Amino acid sequence: MATMALGCQSSAAISIYYYKSDCVDGEYPGQPVVLNFTGTENFLNCSRNHENKAILTVETCDKQKLKNITNGSKETWPFVFYMKAAGDGSRRFESANCPGWFMNADHENVAMECLEAEDETFFFIIRKSFCQ
């Protein structure tokens, strides 16, 4: 569970729900997650406005609908974010629905901003050796 500062409230508890993905084509985008306001049916949602900018909103969604999400689903895909950890322990959340837009949290607000793509991917694949 994480705590996030929100405009007129001092903070709100956020539960992070993780998904296992069977889609790993190309570069690893991060761990797919949805962000739930703990104890509610309210989730963070990212969609585009008429100016094609990403808008971060809080939307109500039945948790059962979010148990299995299909890539590109108009109904559920806006709730998905790709979470990556940075070396300093912080987390970055990229909208799955609006690629290139990342959640930016400061002391009082949570907003979306477009960042230039940075390749921070660094992971190892450990394979079992089949040497005879």
Q: What is the CATH number of the domain that holds 32?
A: 2.80.10.50
According to the model, what pLDDT value does residue 116 have?
Answer: 55
How many domains does the chain divide into? 1
* C-alpha distance from residue 130 to each of 36, 126, 127 (Å): 43, 13, 9
- Give the dihedral sign, CA 33/36/42/43: negative
Structure confidence at residue 7 (pLDDT): 46
How far apart are the C-alpha atoms of 65 and 48, rounded to whole Å? 21
The boundaries of the domain holding residue 29 are 2-114
The verdict on residue 126 lying in a domain is no
DSSP output for 39-81? TSSEEEEEEE-TTS-EEEEEEE--GGGGSS--TT-TTTGGG-E
**Interval 87-101: pLDDT, tens:** 766 778 999 999 988
Residue 32 vs residue 86, higher pLDDT: 32
Domain membership of residue 21 (yes or no) is yes
Grade residue 23 by pLDDT with cuts at 50, 70 and 90.
Answer: low
